[in-house]
Amino acid sequence: MNMNSESLDIQDALKQLGLNAINSGTSTGSHWMDSKTEIASYSPVDGKLIGKVTATTQEDYQKVMTAATSAFADWRVKPAPLRGEIVRQFGDELRRLKGPLGQLVSYEMGKSLQEGLGEVQEMIDICDFAVGLSRQLHGLTMHSERPGHRMYEQYHPMGVVGIISAFNFPVAVWCWNTALAWICGDVCVWKPSEKAPLCGVACQNIAARVFKENGLSEGISCLINGDYKVGQMMTADPRVPLVSATGSTRMGKIVAQTVAERLGRSLLELGGNNAIIVTPDADLKMTVIGAVFGAVGTCGQRCTSTRRLIIHESMYDKVKDALVSAYKQLRIGNPLDQNNHVGPLIDTDAVQMYQSALRQVVEEGGSVLVEGGVLSGEGYESGCYVKPAIAEAQNHFKIVQHETFAPILYLIKYKGDVKEAIALQNGVAQGLSSAIMTNNLREAELFLSHAGSDCGIANVNIGTSGAEIGGAFGGEKETGGGRESGSDAWKVYMRRQTNTINYTTELPLAQGIKFDL
């Protein structure tokens, strides 16, 4: 098997994960299907072919759905703690394979090895969270207005959960959904990004082995692969009551409309245009660390990446000079080398969007403070390595209002009090993550109040990136309103039912209605 990588570690990682030169991209568990259409996965690290995955056909998809719906009938009646035990075993397998899976994430997606390993750790963490939750799927008991009656609420599994994930977090977001859906009694059909299909195959290999070793039904964990047409099979399918989709706002609107037409449910995690407010009372060192990591981490390809820095005029020059100095220290190169801070963009299409954004900000009247550009030469053969850039801009610029998935940070000055800064922060269509840097208690509390940030995530004295699995993750406005991962996000994957029990020999009606026969 030729994996076309100079790194023996990568070849060994692929072998440990059960990946071949050509892999089936459709699975109902441990059963894999093949088709003639192939998806080639090239690494943005070195531009070389990692492997190929076969695409899912319409016929294959129907087989997947038959297996999934059949498995649900059995899986939903297993006690929730037993389902939790399976998730625990899956988490243990992730611990065992954290190294190779983290390397694959880094090599196929292009994020740093530390971030790749961190993404697998998120999978492990959400499994641990789900295991505990499997004994806490609580309902409520209410007092009935009718004597001799008891009312309560309980939650039931929904059925088949369809998951569409994005390239920037090719494994963690799937696991956020899957671990919770599994303990809730649902089964999952996953369509990973066609830009990182091997990560999907690797995860399915791990999950399938756990379910098979426990003698459980084929179809609890299913995999499909392909372009948007394969995703459409799932979003239009009435057998899929919930579709969880992560990606662009444009994609999310299409998914939401398609699912809504059949009165299904959608969980959307879409675009972000995240800002950090820097007030006169901000700690400069903390501000620089939070802003730089938020802007250049994963080469600016996180949905929580920092796009805008809204700085009070009294701090503006200090922050600007400190950022320029920090950017000079960034090391750009192979993300598997932990000495580097910034890896590549996912592909050359992303590079073109990055270049276009830098041209547009100048055309709209902004100025580039730290020059960008595409790197070439030894180590940059893939054509996907770019320089993180900083531009001075206005919040109303069209390009600033738009989310560019690249390491471009816009500096925006404000003159008044923190209310002006909050208005600028909220003055975009997206509402995912936000932060304020201040040692002023009043400013911090106002930012977190009803009159403050309108985002799903609002932080004080940390950046916009780096969410923990314990809290519900998601955003408002064009970010879609979905919530995944921690807190009570499990309720999204279940249907609520209200029950009333009459333990008397009479049948009184609600609201005192009389109906005598």
Query: DSSP string covering 41-105, please?
Result: EE-TTT--EEEEEEPPPHHHHHHHHHHHHHHHHHHTTS-HHHHHHHHHHHHHHHHHTHHHHHHHH
Tokens representing 285 are 């060192």
Closest CA to 237 of 201, 262, 207: 262
> Could you tell me if 108 and 50 are in contact, meaning their C-beta atoms sit under 8 angstroms apart?
yes
Can you tell me the distance from the alpha carbon of 294 to that of 307, in angstroms, rounded to the nearest whole number?
8
Residue 431 is inside which H or E element, if any? strand 430-431
Which regions in the chain score pLDDT beneath 50? 1-7
Q: DSSP strand E in 173-317: where?
A: 187-191, 221-223, 242-246, 265-269, 274-278, 306-312
Q: What angle do CA 356, 357, 363 make, to 5 degrees?
A: 90
pLDDT at 229: 96
Amino acid occupying residue 272: G
Amino acid occupying residue 315: M
Amino acid occupying residue 370: V
Tokens representing 403 are 């989310």
Based on the number of CB atoms within 10 Å of its own CB, is 448 exposed (0-12), middle (13-18) or buried (19 or more)?
Answer: middle
Tokens representing 413 are 């000055």
Closest CA to 41 of 5, 70, 74: 5
Paired residues of 245 in beta bridges: 164, 268
Question: Which residues have CB under 8 Å from 423's CB, separation 6+?
Answer: none
Paired residues of 38 in beta bridges: 54
> Could you tell me if 180 and 482 are in contact, meaning their C-beta atoms sit under 8 angstroms apart?
no
Can you tell me the distance from the alpha carbon of 146 to that of 504, in angstroms, rounded to the nearest whole number?
10
Tokens representing 319 are 């922050």
| Ordered DSSP codes for 30-48 | S-EE--S-EEEEE-TTT--
Can you tell me the distance from the alpha carbon of 490 to that of 184, in angstroms, rounded to the nearest whole number?
7
- Residue matched to tokens 């990560």: 199
Can you tell me the distance from the alpha carbon of 339 to that of 327, in angstroms, rounded to the nearest whole number?
15
Closest CA to 387 of 429, 331, 446: 331
C-alpha torsion 218→222→223→229, nearest 10: 120
Closest CA to 110 of 327, 402, 407, 352: 407
pLDDT at 5: 40
Q: At what angle do helices 8-16 and 98-109 cross, to 10 degrees?
A: 120
SS3 353: helix
Question: Which residues have CB under 8 Å from 378's CB, separation 6+?
Answer: none
Can you tell me the distance from the alpha carbon of 304 to that of 476, in angstroms, rounded to the nearest whole number?
13
What pTM does this model have?
0.96
The Cβ of residue 95 has, within 10 Å, a number of other Cβ atoms equal to 13
Active site residues: 269, 303
The Cβ of residue 51 has, within 10 Å, a number of other Cβ atoms equal to 24
Can you tell me the distance from the alpha carbon of 505 to that of 349, in angstroms, rounded to the nearest whole number?
71
State the Rg of the chain over Cα. 25
Question: Which residues have CB under 8 Å from 506's CB, separation 6+?
Answer: 148
Question: 80-83: which pairs have CB atoms within 8 A and are 24 or more residues apart?
Answer: 80/134, 80/135, 80/137, 80/183, 80/184, 80/185, 81/134, 81/135, 83/134, 83/182, 83/183, 83/184, 83/185
pLDDT at 8: 52
- Residue matched to tokens 């706002």: 249
pLDDT at 510: 84
Q: What angle do CA 202, 189, 132 make, to 5 degrees?
A: 80
